[in-house]
Amino acid sequence: MPVAVPPAALTHLDVLESESIHIIREVAAEFERPVLMFSGGKDSIVMLRLAERAFAPARVPFGLLQVDTGYDFPEVLATRDRWVERLGIELHVASVEQAIADGVVVDDGRTSRNRLQIGTLLHAIEERGYTAAFGGGRRDEEKARAKERIYSHRRPRPRTDQLCGRDDRRAPPARPASPSSTAPS
Protein backbone atom coordinates (compact mmCIF):
# COMPACT_ATOMS: atom_id res chain seq x y z
CA MET A 1 0.00 0.00 0.00
CA PRO A 2 1.50 3.38 -1.00
CA VAL A 3 2.27 5.77 1.78
CA ALA A 4 0.67 9.20 1.42
CA VAL A 5 3.26 11.94 1.40
CA PRO A 6 2.02 15.23 2.83
CA PRO A 7 2.36 18.14 0.44
CA ALA A 8 5.29 20.43 1.09
CA ALA A 9 4.36 23.61 2.86
CA LEU A 10 4.16 26.59 0.56
CA THR A 11 6.77 29.25 1.12
CA HIS A 12 5.86 32.90 1.40
CA LEU A 13 7.06 33.45 -2.18
CA ASP A 14 4.97 30.50 -3.40
CA VAL A 15 1.88 32.07 -1.86
CA LEU A 16 2.64 35.48 -3.39
CA GLU A 17 3.26 33.91 -6.80
CA SER A 18 0.02 31.94 -6.62
CA GLU A 19 -1.96 35.00 -5.57
CA SER A 20 -0.40 37.09 -8.35
CA ILE A 21 -1.14 34.48 -11.00
CA HIS A 22 -4.75 34.28 -9.77
CA ILE A 23 -5.15 38.06 -10.05
CA ILE A 24 -3.58 38.14 -13.53
CA ARG A 25 -5.98 35.43 -14.73
CA GLU A 26 -8.99 37.18 -13.19
CA VAL A 27 -8.12 40.55 -14.74
CA ALA A 28 -7.55 38.92 -18.14
CA ALA A 29 -10.95 37.22 -17.86
CA GLU A 30 -12.88 40.24 -16.58
CA PHE A 31 -11.44 43.11 -18.62
CA GLU A 32 -11.85 43.49 -22.35
CA ARG A 33 -8.41 44.87 -23.17
CA PRO A 34 -5.75 44.58 -20.45
CA VAL A 35 -2.12 45.50 -21.03
CA LEU A 36 1.08 44.91 -19.08
CA MET A 37 3.34 47.92 -18.65
CA PHE A 38 6.79 46.70 -19.59
CA SER A 39 10.11 48.53 -19.60
CA GLY A 40 12.51 45.60 -19.76
CA GLY A 41 13.65 46.26 -16.20
CA LYS A 42 13.60 43.72 -13.38
CA ASP A 43 10.16 44.60 -11.99
CA SER A 44 8.41 44.36 -15.34
CA ILE A 45 10.29 41.16 -16.21
CA VAL A 46 8.92 39.60 -13.02
CA MET A 47 5.42 40.73 -14.00
CA LEU A 48 5.81 39.32 -17.51
CA ARG A 49 7.15 36.03 -16.15
CA LEU A 50 4.12 35.78 -13.84
CA ALA A 51 1.81 36.43 -16.81
CA GLU A 52 3.67 33.79 -18.83
CA ARG A 53 3.25 31.26 -16.02
CA ALA A 54 -0.42 32.20 -15.55
CA PHE A 55 -1.32 31.16 -19.09
CA ALA A 56 1.27 28.49 -19.98
CA PRO A 57 1.30 26.61 -22.26
CA ALA A 58 -0.91 29.15 -24.08
CA ARG A 59 0.32 32.60 -25.07
CA VAL A 60 -0.14 35.62 -22.84
CA PRO A 61 -3.53 36.99 -23.97
CA PHE A 62 -2.64 40.68 -23.74
CA GLY A 63 0.04 42.98 -25.06
CA LEU A 64 2.76 45.11 -23.55
CA LEU A 65 3.01 48.88 -23.23
CA GLN A 66 6.27 50.74 -22.74
CA VAL A 67 6.56 54.45 -22.10
CA ASP A 68 9.81 55.44 -23.79
CA THR A 69 11.53 58.39 -22.11
CA GLY A 70 14.27 58.48 -24.72
CA TYR A 71 16.82 57.76 -21.97
CA ASP A 72 16.69 53.96 -21.78
CA PHE A 73 19.93 52.01 -21.94
CA PRO A 74 20.30 50.06 -25.21
CA GLU A 75 20.78 46.86 -23.18
CA VAL A 76 17.40 47.32 -21.51
CA LEU A 77 15.68 47.83 -24.85
CA ALA A 78 17.46 44.75 -26.25
CA THR A 79 16.23 42.71 -23.25
CA ARG A 80 12.70 44.00 -23.80
CA ASP A 81 12.85 43.07 -27.48
CA ARG A 82 14.13 39.55 -26.72
CA TRP A 83 11.20 38.95 -24.36
CA VAL A 84 8.71 40.28 -26.92
CA GLU A 85 10.18 38.09 -29.66
CA ARG A 86 10.40 34.97 -27.50
CA LEU A 87 6.78 35.24 -26.35
CA GLY A 88 5.38 36.47 -29.65
CA ILE A 89 3.56 39.25 -27.86
CA GLU A 90 2.40 42.67 -29.14
CA LEU A 91 4.40 45.68 -27.95
CA HIS A 92 3.16 49.24 -28.12
CA VAL A 93 5.74 51.94 -27.38
CA ALA A 94 4.41 55.32 -26.23
CA SER A 95 7.12 57.92 -26.74
CA VAL A 96 7.50 60.92 -24.46
CA GLU A 97 9.21 62.76 -27.34
CA GLN A 98 6.24 62.05 -29.62
CA ALA A 99 3.80 63.10 -26.87
CA ILE A 100 5.66 66.41 -26.58
CA ALA A 101 5.61 66.86 -30.37
CA ASP A 102 1.86 66.07 -30.48
CA GLY A 103 1.07 68.47 -27.62
CA VAL A 104 -0.09 65.67 -25.33
CA VAL A 105 2.40 66.78 -22.66
CA VAL A 106 4.28 70.05 -22.30
CA ASP A 107 8.01 70.13 -21.65
CA ASP A 108 8.59 73.45 -19.94
CA GLY A 109 12.26 72.68 -19.35
CA ARG A 110 11.68 72.23 -15.60
CA THR A 111 9.54 69.08 -15.62
CA SER A 112 11.35 65.75 -15.26
CA ARG A 113 10.96 62.97 -17.80
CA ASN A 114 9.33 60.88 -15.07
CA ARG A 115 6.54 63.46 -14.73
CA LEU A 116 6.13 63.64 -18.52
CA GLN A 117 5.66 59.86 -18.56
CA ILE A 118 2.37 60.18 -16.66
CA GLY A 119 0.57 62.12 -19.37
CA THR A 120 2.15 59.95 -22.05
CA LEU A 121 0.99 56.79 -20.27
CA LEU A 122 -2.56 58.04 -19.69
CA HIS A 123 -2.81 59.15 -23.31
CA ALA A 124 -1.61 55.74 -24.57
CA ILE A 125 -4.08 53.90 -22.31
CA GLU A 126 -6.96 56.03 -23.57
CA GLU A 127 -5.87 56.06 -27.21
CA ARG A 128 -5.36 52.28 -27.36
CA GLY A 129 -8.53 51.53 -25.40
CA TYR A 130 -6.85 49.58 -22.61
CA THR A 131 -9.29 48.70 -19.85
CA ALA A 132 -6.78 47.47 -17.26
CA ALA A 133 -3.04 47.96 -16.82
CA PHE A 134 -0.66 45.69 -14.94
CA GLY A 135 2.42 47.30 -13.45
CA GLY A 136 5.09 46.14 -11.08
CA GLY A 137 6.55 48.34 -8.41
CA ARG A 138 8.16 47.43 -5.14
CA ARG A 139 6.54 49.14 -2.23
CA ASP A 140 9.88 49.55 -0.47
CA GLU A 141 10.94 51.85 -3.33
CA GLU A 142 7.61 53.54 -4.06
CA LYS A 143 6.04 54.70 -0.80
CA ALA A 144 2.86 55.97 -2.49
CA ARG A 145 2.09 52.39 -3.55
CA ALA A 146 2.86 50.79 -0.17
CA LYS A 147 -0.76 50.56 0.93
CA GLU A 148 -2.00 49.02 -2.33
CA ARG A 149 -0.22 45.71 -1.80
CA ILE A 150 -1.68 43.73 -4.69
CA TYR A 151 -4.40 45.45 -6.68
CA SER A 152 -5.42 49.04 -7.12
CA HIS A 153 -8.99 49.81 -8.13
CA ARG A 154 -9.40 52.97 -10.14
CA ARG A 155 -12.24 55.03 -11.48
CA PRO A 156 -12.65 55.13 -15.27
CA ARG A 157 -10.42 58.22 -15.28
CA PRO A 158 -7.32 57.26 -13.24
CA ARG A 159 -7.13 58.86 -9.80
CA THR A 160 -5.01 58.04 -6.82
CA ASP A 161 -7.69 58.49 -4.17
CA GLN A 162 -9.37 55.20 -5.12
CA LEU A 163 -6.96 52.77 -3.45
CA CYS A 164 -8.18 49.45 -2.13
CA GLY A 165 -5.76 46.63 -1.45
CA ARG A 166 -5.65 43.35 0.37
CA ASP A 167 -4.50 44.91 3.65
CA ASP A 168 -6.32 48.23 3.22
CA ARG A 169 -9.42 48.23 5.39
CA ARG A 170 -11.01 51.17 3.56
CA ALA A 171 -13.78 50.14 1.21
CA PRO A 172 -14.30 51.90 -2.11
CA PRO A 173 -16.85 54.73 -1.92
CA ALA A 174 -20.44 53.56 -2.12
CA ARG A 175 -22.26 54.26 -5.35
CA PRO A 176 -25.36 56.40 -4.98
CA ALA A 177 -28.54 54.38 -5.26
CA SER A 178 -30.65 55.02 -8.34
CA PRO A 179 -34.11 56.49 -7.69
CA SER A 180 -35.79 53.30 -9.00
CA SER A 181 -33.92 51.08 -6.53
CA THR A 182 -35.04 53.12 -3.52
CA ALA A 183 -38.69 53.54 -4.48
CA PRO A 184 -41.13 51.57 -2.29
CA SER A 185 -42.71 48.59 -4.02
Is 95 contained in some domain? yes
Is 144 contained in some domain? no
Distance CA 15, CA 63 (A): 26
Is 163 contained in some domain? no
Is 150 contained in some domain? no
* Number of domains comprising the chain: 1
Model pLDDT, residue 137:
72
Is 50 contained in some domain? yes
Using 50, 70 and 90 to split pLDDT, how confident is the model at 154?
low
CATH number at residue 74: 3.40.50.620
Q: What percent of the chain has pLDDT over 70?
A: 70
- Residue 48 pLDDT greater than 70, yes or no: yes
Residue range(s) defining the domain that contains residue 115: 16-136
pTM: 0.74
